[in-house]
Amino acid sequence: MDDKLDFTYSVDRFADIQVIRYKVPGFEDLTLRQKKLIYFLSKAALEGRDILYDQNGKYNLRIRKMLEAVYLHYDGDRSDKHFLALETYLKRVWFSNGIHHHYATDKFIPDFSPEFFREALKHIDPNELPLTDGMTLDELCDEIFPIIFDPNVMPKRVNQADGEDVVQTSACNYYSNVSQEEAEQFYNAMKSEDDVYPVMYGLNSRLVKENGQVKEVIWKSDGLYGKAIDRIIFWLEKALPYAETPEQAEVIRTLIDYYRTGDLRTFDEYSILWVKDLDAHIDFTNGFIESYGDPLGLKASWEAIVNFKDVVATHRTEVLSENAAWFEQHSPVDKRFKKSKVKGVSAKVITATILGGDLYPSSAIGINLPNSNWIRSVHGSKSVTIGNLIDSYNKVAHGNGFYEEFVYSADTRKMIDKYGDVTDDLHTDLHECLGHGSGQLLPGTDPDALKVYGSTIEEARADLFALYYLADKKLVDLQLLNDDEAFKAQYYTYILNGLMTQLVRISLGNNVEEAHMRNRQLIARWAYEHGKEEKVIELVKENGKTYLKINDYERLRSLFAELLAEIQRIKSEGDFEGARYLVETYGVKIDPVLHKEILERYEQLHLAPYKGFVNPVYTPVVDKDGEIIDVEISYAEGYVEQMLRYSKDYANLPYVNN
């Protein structure tokens, strides 16, 4: 069976969401042992799904169950508008792992009526419903419906509003019956000035008040969420014999130990072992990691990812960093501002094989862990970008009508289709591995001299370094590009974004505020204005629409060189006035007429602002003795299918977790 032939990136579209697929290139080439390791770790990555639902809100598991029961067993008209609204709402609940928006954290209200829902539930076999302790259906509805339908009940998952009790006004399930003051007192009392290696207090527990006493209920094997944690341990133990290195085996063993005891000292030990485990090809994270979901930033949501090293992409960053000295010598900036010795940074790129918990369906595209400050400073951290997820985002962007709307000619679009992704990756590598590390301050220059303009100037410096070298024959010589015209794709999309399309993220009437956006507009506007007489870059009008035309790519490169030299001078000399002039003149203000036009054109494309992923499916192939002889990967599963399967196979927790 070869389902790669009909691989489609786009899987589903609803509300403000687009669900897409990602490929796992290289999986088939792994050894059987590696495939088994990935398979078992992937199972461990899915078993904690219900933990996150419960962390995100104490009613989420029951609400999901009620919705799924109606979705699966509804015997009325499935094209009825109430049923369709229920379907959309359920898709949103799955996507957010609860009833609050995954990003904005505010509650979304369904478009079906409470009457419809109650009536539909009455036709469902009671065994399919989360009726606990002899509860009747009406009692269940009376308890749950305000949570779903009343906008004033639990309106925000994470409330950060200044002056309010953020613990009591947040719907997340990390605290029970405690006030913000009580929680802060509880954790302040744990901290000690003398402890130079403090654990991350509160990371793996719910804080509750019972009989007037504030205490932690720990998430561990025989504690809260124990049933799900035991399933995670089960698969980690299966994975253990297939660890690639003794260090990795120690990582897995220590993680199991931590899940059993809930001891945060053990978690620190695990984190240190994990940071040091650099030789294995396969890597994974599984645990209570990020604390964005807690208004106090202490308690971590459960997440998991399994991945292996993307050898080709990592090689690319290594080649650049090995040649760092050549790039520094040949850059178009004044000799006085160049480093005599440069060290490039090589970035590790990984391929994700499964996403779980708080990384699913919406995922980060980079990971930088562990979060413990003292471990980072003493033992370092791992920083990776997830290449196959970025690639998937890029591929989707090609087919969504965006370039058809904004790119001037079919030829230019063809060029972007062919070279847009590879030059985009290279731009990022040049920016990160070489750009930021290049150049030096003159002796006596205050590194903070550029103040509020510092980060915009710094980003512009790294971007210009990347843009300048993208057009250099050196990249072809290093076999990082195979066509010395490929850079044009990046030049076009960079200027298009800086002059026009990035404005879709700004409301009409506002200025450009964010440093990266200011930097991109600064570069694009400066090049446009300085090449105006020679018509290097033109904005032409056709049928009332503004289009970007680039007439002279070689000249554009020399404009980038001029600006890079000037920006490096500003940085090296700490010329605050020079920085202010460039940023304020080119980076901040927006032409309101053009802005309005861009917003209207973008609006008509109906693009989804948020994206997330479905996972591939891994199926072990067993021989007649039950031995795994291969693991197959399939990309055929749809969004609804996958969510329903996960809800069935990984329903590890009771509906109510007290």
Residues that bind Zn ion (CB under 5 A): 462
Residue 466 makes CB contacts below 8 A (sequence gap 6+) with: 426, 427, 428, 430, 431, 434, 435
| Residue of 169, 159, 173, 167 whose CA lies nearest to 185 | 167
Q: Which residue, 21 or 461, is less far from Zn ion as judged by CB?
A: 461
Q: Which is nearer to Zn ion, 244 or 463 (CB)?
A: 463
Shortest Cβ distance from residue 455 to Zn ion (Å)? 9
CB of 385 vs Zn ion, minimal distance in Å: 13
Q: Are 389 and 23 in contact (CB under 8 A)?
A: no
Closest CB to Zn ion: residue number: 462
Nearer to Zn ion, 438 or 647 (CB): 438
Give the separation between CA 490 and CA 422, rounded to whole angstroms. Answer: 9
- Pick the closer one to Zn ion by CB: 68 or 429: 429
Query: Going by C-beta distance under 8 Å and a sequence separation of 6 or more, which residues neighbour residue 163?
Result: none
| Identity of the residue, 56 or 568, whose beta carbon is nearer to Zn ion in the bound complex | 568
| CB distance 306 to 280 below 8 Å | no
Q: How far is the CB of 579 from Zn ion (least distance, A)?
A: 16
Of 239, 282, 240, 235, nearest to 31 (Cα)?
282
Q: How far is the CB of 138 from Zn ion (least distance, A)?
A: 57
How far apart are CB 431 and Zn ion at their closest, in Å? 6
Q: Among residues 233 and 462, whose Cβ is nearest to Zn ion?
A: 462
19: left (phi over 0), alpha (psi -120 to 50) or beta: beta
**Smallest gap from residue 153 Cβ to Zn ion (A):** 42
**Beta bridge mates, 354:** 306
Q: Identify which of residues 236 and 464 has a Cβ nearer to Zn ion in the complex.
A: 464
**Phi, psi dihedrals of residue 497, rounded to the nearest 5°:** -65, -45
C-alpha to C-alpha distance for 186 and 178, rounded to whole angstroms: 10
Burial class (CB in 10 A: 0-12, 13-18, 19+), 351: buried
Beta strands in 317-473, from DSSP E residues, in sequence order? 348-357, 366-369, 382-386
Query: Looking at the DSSP assignment, which residues form a beta bridge with residue 232?
Result: none
CB of 197 to Zn ion, least distance (A): 31
Cα torsion 580, 581, 584, 590 to 10°: value is: -160
Residue 316 CB, shortest distance to Zn ion, in Å, is 18
Distance, in Å, from the CA atom of 139 to the CA atom of 647, rounded to the nearest integer, reads 24
Q: Pairing between strand 545-550 and 610-614?
A: unpaired
Look at residues 219, 92, 99 and name the one whose alpha carbon lies nearest to residue 148.
Answer: 99
- Nearer to Zn ion by Cβ, of 261 and 455: the residue is 455
How far, in Å, are 89, 105, 585, 607, 646 from residue 102 at the CA level?
Answer: 13, 6, 37, 18, 19
- The distance of closest approach from Cβ of residue 368 to Zn ion in the complex, given in angstroms and rounded to an integer, is 14
Minimum CB distance to Zn ion smaller for 365 or for 651: 365
- CB-nearer residue toward Zn ion: 359 or 462: 462
Please state whether beta strands 348-357 and 382-386 pair in parallel, antiparallel, or not at all (unpaired). parallel
Residue number, 567 or 643, with CB nearest to Zn ion:
567
Strand partners, 508: none
Residue 465 CB, nearest approach to Zn ion (Å) = 10
Question: What is the nearest approach in angstroms of Zn ion to the Cβ of residue 458?
Answer: 7
